[in-house]
Amino acid sequence: MERTFVIIKPDAVQRGLIGEIVARFERRGLKIVGMKFMQVSEELARQHYAVHEGRPFFNGLIQYIISAPVVAMVLEGTNAIAAVRKTLGATKPAEAELGTIRADFGLEIGRNLVHGSDGPDTAASEIALWFGEDLVSWGRASDPWIFE
């Protein structure tokens, strides 16, 4: 079973889309094992996006992610990392497939609503950075109907 890290970003929170977005992950069968509503500090934002430091959009990205609260989540499931990335859609909403979160709710790359880890290494480091050990392993009644 794989775990991945998700952020419902400030634009999605301000637009009242938390429930809509969480519902899509739940419907897909992903299990919530961590979730918090929080104001991101500039320090945490810079650590999370350290790989993008020096890019022209970096400062705008940091300001965006600290501009309003976010919902940080850890989701668990079979191939959770790839399943979440597919559910998010392409980074540029204009290129995202219809039916994905970014296509259904977004237009611009700088307001693309959600973050999802892009691989096993980033998932592990992002979960550690945002949640540490503060996760809940639990048996969900529907697990046998979702995981074979």
**Amino acid of residue 7:** I
Radius of gyration of the chain (CA): 15
Cβ of residue 91: shortest distance to ligand IDP, in angstroms?
Answer: 3
Q: Decide if 115 is catalytic.
A: yes
Does the footprint of ligand IDP cover residue 120 (CB under 6 A)? Answer: no
**Cα–Cα distance measured from residue 37 to residue 113, given in angstroms and rounded to the nearest whole number:** 15
Instruction: Work out how close the CB of 22 gets to ligand IDP at its nearest, in angstroms, rounded to a whole number.
Output: 18
Taking the least distance from each CB to Mg ion, the nearer of 46 and 140 is 46
Which residue has its beta carbon closest to ligand IDP? 91
Q: Supply 118's token pair.
A: 């892009």
Give the footprint of ligand IDP on residues 45-104 (CB under 6 A): 57, 61, 91
Closest distance to Mg ion from the beta carbon of 104 (Å)? 20
Binder to ligand IDP among 99, 110, 119, 120 (CB under 6 A)?
110
Go through 77-110 and write b for each residue having 16 or more CB atoms within 10 A of its CB, e for each that does not: beebbebbbebbbeeebeebeeebbbbbbbeeee
**123: its two tokens:** 């998932």
- Taking the complex as a whole, how short is the minimal distance between the CB of residue 132 and Mg ion, in angstroms? 21
Q: What angle is formed at CA 76 by the lines to CA 21 and CA 112, rounded to 5 degrees?
A: 30
User: Residue 48 binds what, of Mg ion, ligand IDP, none (CB under 5 to 8 Å, by partner type)?
Assistant: none
The answer to whether 128 and 50 are in contact (CB under 8 A) is no
68-127 residues in contact with Mg ion (CB under 5 A) are: 118
Residue numbers annotated as active site: 115
Question: Contact positions toward ligand IDP, by CB under 6 A?
Answer: 57, 61, 91, 109-110, 112, 115, 118
